[in-house]
Structure 1
Amino acid sequence: MSLPETWYRLPFVYRPRAERRASPALAAFHWDGSIPRQNHVANISSSGAYLLTSECWKAGDIVSLTLQRSGILESRDQRRYTVQAKTIRRDDQGVAVAFLMPRGSDVRLWQSTIKAGAPQTEPEDVVFEFRLAAALAFIERVTPAASNAARLLMRRGLSNHRLESAVEIALHAEELLALEGCGAGFHLDPKAVIRILEDGSWTEVDWIQHWWAGLLATSCVTGAGGKSDLKFVSLLSQITTIQARILAGACSLAQKSIAEECRKPLRPLTCSAKELIRITGTHDRVRIERDIVHLVELGLIEKSLKWRFFSLLDQAVITPTETAVELYARCHGRRGAENSTKSSMDAKTVAAV
């Protein structure tokens, strides 16, 4: 992913030499043109690593390394971490590199925790520690007032599964902000950040985690005492996966009928039973009807007589409200309902998950 230079070139800092250990099966990939090259990691610490490689990198060279389990290059971000590194020295077997982590990063490799009585040396453990440190550093940069609470929550307060979700939410929000070209002069509402990390960490579905990341990225406030609207956080926390699919389907359908000057469809939107079954991934019409009713009660779907009898009819009215369209836009990192048509996540995408 190509990111704006103004965001990508963050202030980097060197770390003092830390304890180095071997992590069996850990590899560091680099790109040789369009070809990924794999280098075995002989040992690694929080501040650097020694790579067994024949690459002729010179002292002072900056390289981009992707840490992951050895094998095929991982496609999922959760299983890899890309870090900038500076070559320190070279010998006959390989090179020693120092990691250039964003300022504020606190990588804690080989440190025992309450959850793990002994240091974890599997490649996945190493990758996750770097991702966690990067997530916390991002939060500290964009909302310093929430850094202590976020560190306490993510270092001690969440279970392993919830922690993985919270880290993905933070890192994806960072990507969204980078794509929007956000620079200095903005910050995120600390209360919204902590609430999003807490509530969003319950989901294990990737695309819903990215919805939470969108809310995080759009919780920007102006002024030191500014506060963001927690209404959308509250709404998303009350939606199940199937209900989110229905909402995505409704907003995707609405994109075709929303006038440029309006924020709501020009006419009631109906969806066939067959299409709703495809979108939701369930043939249980009674359950679909219940989920539509819940979205109506939340104020996300317009009231209609037809949704009351969907289990008996072949279609349902699923016209999204203005609030729903704006929520959908924010979940994709864009403020304002008028930007919802730019969303890359439509009903076909979520229905395929």
Structure 2
Amino acid sequence: MSENKGLDIFGIKPVANAIDKTVQKSLEGIEGFLQLTCKPALGEVGLLIQDKVRHWRLCNVIRMLEKAQGKLDFNNDTFQLKSHPRVGLSIIENSSLIDNEEVQDMWAGLFASSCTESGTDDENLIFIDLLKQLTTAQAQILKYGVENSRKIIYPNGLVIAEELKIHCDDIFKLTGLNNYHRVDRELDYLRALGLISSYSGGFDPDSADLVADIHPTYLSLSLYVKSQGSKLDPDEFWKQELITKEQLDKEEEEKAKQEAERRKKENKKL
């Protein structure tokens, strides 16, 4: 791919001298990718290029698209997937405002999972709307909750995450926050979005310790899967790790027996 070809596609010849060489090289690396996956986005990126004030946003978009390209095993000769323009443009617009690596990676995953053979699938609009509302701290809590909770598959095929509790001090370490009121607000918002359980999510005001239940909902599991660049549903994505409801019930019965035995022994000592 020649330098002139790259500049022609994005329409940046008049401002080429003002563009950082590293950025220019990165642009040449993603132009073919966008040409195939979401051609209307070329114009959006072009606007970012021509406005020096938007240089920061342009760099964010480039990094996101490079990540997305990697998730799709991009090949100029055989690549046949496209993103619905409404989805692709929305991801570029929203990801341009994010410079956090973890959250950028989620946006890249959404772009990758948006690419289909028909290019008409707009389901990821649901997940775009959710991700664009998350703070960096919320995204980190959500990611931790999904990755560390066990997933249970029910007889009807739905996958639900098991209860997962975490102390506020551990949330501080995870997010870099240092104010438990702020953490409580972050958890409240995750619950309001339907991303952690509405029944027990967040801090328990009756507890002496600041321990939160952050187990993710099915919507949260789905957002995570899509943000990994996968088109699978949660039951397929975690197929090798799932436990059945029957296995869970047996575990709980065994725990109840062990607890009864422990109490019985303690009572004998009294």
Give me the TM-score of the superposition, normalised by structure 1.
0.58
| Aligned pair partner of 1:192 in 87, 91, 94 | 87
Aligned mate of 2:50, from 148, 156, 160: 156
- Do residues 259 (structure 1) and 160 (structure 2) align? no
Aligned to 1:337: 234
Matched with 1:316 is: 212
Which of 100, 123, 128 matches 2:23?
128
Supply the distance in 1 between the matched residues of 2:202 and 2:64 (Cα, whole angstroms).
33
* Alpha-carbon shift at residue 249 of structure 1 (Å): 1.2
Asked whether the equivalents of residues 166 and 201 of structure 1 are also in contact (C-alpha less than 8 Å), the reply is yes
**Alignment of structure 1 residues 64-79 onto 2, 5 Å:** none
Corresponding residue number in structure 2 for 1:55: none
Measured in 2, the distance between the counterparts of 1:306 and 1:215 equals 25
The 8 Å contact of residues 326 and 340 in structure 1, kept in 2 or not, is answered as: no
Structure 2, unmatched stretches of 5+, are 240-270
Task: Map residues 165-244 of structure 1 onto 2, 5 A cutoff.
Answer: 165-178=60-73, 183-223=78-118, 225-244=120-139
For residues 80-127 of structure 1, the C-alpha deviation after alignment (integer angstroms, 9 at most, x for no partner) is xxxxxxxxxxxxxxxxxxxxxxxx6337899442xxxx8248xxx112
Give me the whole-angstrom Cα distance separating, in 2, the residues matched to 1:131 and 1:307: 42
Separation (CA, whole Å) in 2 of partners of 1:126 and 1:220: 29
**Once superposed, what is the RMSD of the aligned Cα atoms?**
3.1
Matches of 1:130 and 1:111, distance apart in 2: 14
- Describe the shift of the 1:224–1:341 C-alpha distance in structure 2 as closer, same or farther (beyond 3 A): closer
For CA contacts below 8 A with separation 6 or more, give which structure has more relative contact order. 2
Structure 1 residues 251-290: aligned runs within 5 Å: 251-254=146-149, 257-259=150-152, 262-265=158-161, 267-290=162-185
2:141 is the alignment partner of 1:246? yes
For 1:227, what is the secondary structure of its paired residue?
A: coil
**Structure 2 counterpart SS, 1:218:** helix
> Is residue 119 of structure 1 aligned with residue 17 of structure 2?
yes
With normalisation by structure 2, the TM-score equals 0.74
Aligned residue type for 1:235: L
Q: Equivalent residue for 1:95?
A: none
State whether residues 176 and 333 of structure 1, in contact with CA within 8 Å, keep that contact through their aligned partners in structure 2. yes
Distance 2:237 2:56 in 1: 30
Identity of aligned residues (%): 22
Q: CA deviation at 1:316?
A: 0.8
CA distance in 2, matches of 1:229, 1:212: 11
Counterpart of 2:32? 137
Quick check: 2:6–2:27 contact (8 Å CA) kept in 1?
A: no
- Give 1:258's aligned amino acid: K
Deviation at 1:150, TM superposition (A): 3.1
Q: How far off its partner does 1:209 sit?
A: 1.1
Q: Flag the structure with higher strand content.
A: 1
Relative to structure 1, the CA distance from residue 137 to residue 185 in structure 2 (aligned partners, 3 Å threshold; closer, same or farther) is closer
Q: Is the 8 A contact 2:37 2:81 kept in 1?
A: yes
Greater share of residues in helix = 2
The amino acid across from 2:218 in the alignment is: E
Take 1:129 and 1:320, find their aligned partners in 2: how far apart are those partners?
40
Paired residues in the alignment total 231
Say whether 1:106 aligns with 2:1. no
Question: Which amino acid letter does the alignment assign opposite residue 250 of structure 1?
Answer: G
Where does structure 1 lack aligned partners over 5 or more consecutive residues?
A: 1-12, 16-45, 48-103, 343-353
